[in-house]
């Protein structure tokens, strides 16, 4: 694929449909990688103006007009708009022979079914990363893994694009896309929610939010380093891993008294942690049962 791009400028041409944060960031990175971002499309004039500033591409409100400008089309609209954007461009006979990709984590090839029927080669390229801004996305995408789901003819192109973005390919079957994305949500989105709960619990002790964050983040970073080094099972520490029933009882009592809304969360995570501790071998089945009873509120 790189050889083909060197032989002709035509195969360098990329259009981005949907110029939100991710689409704009990908446009910047593709341009840096040597692709020609020839067209950008969005319904929002402000988003288009921003994307043009970064990519110097031609702006369009009508996605079908991008077909004359590019051979690779990347749909980076919100997930619910992917099918309609694909349907719109698929009405044009110029879609035949083009490569059409979307960047949804949970969405499969069915979102691009109309393009495939019209003779395009289709696939999904999803960066396994979180973004809070365009600059943050540009910084974080390189070296990230990309979930790739493609038809046979789009596989080599998708893999090359990911390589040019300095990413690592991770091939996911179409049927497993939702499960793959659910894992990503737990790793990223739910981690944010979990740490928000941590802040709330600390605030109940009288510690201010910013101070709490400064206090717990080194613990989180240290835990992540342990996971990176030893894996999630052998990185486990704490009272459940030690079988410290007395400490767990204290946690449950104080939380029921002061923060009852977090008891279900603490209990659910505790039950999962007990299973991990048993896998680690630090928690015996008998002690695990006693801990589970405490967490479930079973009276001895």
Are 202 and 208 in contact by the 8 Å Cβ rule? The answer is no
Q: What is the reported pTM?
A: 0.88
Distance of CA 118 to the CA centre of its chain: 30
Q: Which residue has the tokens 């802040």?
A: 199
Largest Cα–Cα distance in the chain? Answer: 76
pLDDT beneath 50, residues of the chain:
1-10
SS3 300: coil
| pLDDT for the residue numbered 298 | 86
| pLDDT for the residue numbered 11 | 55
Task: For 35-65, write each residue's pLDDT tens digit.
Answer: 999 999 999 999 999 999 999 999 999 999 9
Sheet holding 145-150, edge to edge: 58-60, 36-41, 13-17, 72-75, 99-102, 121-127, 145-150, 168-171
Cβ-proximal residues to 156 (8 Å cutoff; 6+ apart), any chain: 1
| pLDDT for the residue numbered 142 | 94
């Amino acid at each position: 694929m790189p050889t083909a791009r060197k032989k002709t400028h035509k195969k360098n041409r990329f259009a981005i449909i949907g110029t939100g944060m991710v689409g704009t960031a990908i446009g910047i990175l593709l341009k840096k990688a040597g692709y020609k971002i020839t067209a950008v499309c969005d319904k929002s004039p402000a988003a288009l103006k921003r994307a043009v500033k970064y990519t110097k591409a031609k702006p369009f409100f009508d996605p079908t007009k991008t077909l004359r400008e590019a051979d690779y089309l990347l749909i980076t609209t919100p997930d619910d708009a992917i099918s309609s954007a694909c349907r719109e461009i698929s009405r044009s006979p110029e879609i035949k022979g083009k490569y059409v990709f979307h960047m949804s984590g949970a969405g499969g090839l069915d979102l691009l079914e109309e393009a495939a029927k019209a003779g395009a080669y289709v696939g999904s390229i999803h960066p396994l990363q979180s973004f809070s801004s365009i600059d943050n996305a540009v910084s974080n995408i390189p070296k990230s893994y990309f979930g790739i789901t493609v038809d046979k003819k789009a596989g080599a192109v998708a893999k090359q694009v990911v390589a040019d973005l300095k990413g690592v390919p991770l091939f996911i079957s179409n049927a497993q896309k939702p499960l793959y994305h659910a894992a990503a949500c737990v790793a990223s989105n739910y981690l944010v929610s979990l740490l928000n709960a941590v802040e709330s619990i600390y605030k109940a002790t009288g510690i201010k939010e910013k101070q709490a964050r400064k206090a717990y983040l080194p613990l989180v970073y240290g835990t992540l380093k342990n996971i990176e080094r030893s894996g999630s099972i052998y990185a486990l520490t704490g009272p459940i891993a030690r079988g410290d029933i007395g400490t767990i009882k204290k946690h449950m009592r104080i939380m029921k008294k002061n923060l009852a809304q977090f008891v279900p969360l603490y209990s659910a995570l505790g039950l999962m942690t007990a299973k991990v501790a048993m896998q680690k071998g630090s928690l015996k089945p008998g002690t695990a049962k006693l801990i589970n009873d405490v967490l479930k509120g079973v009276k001895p």
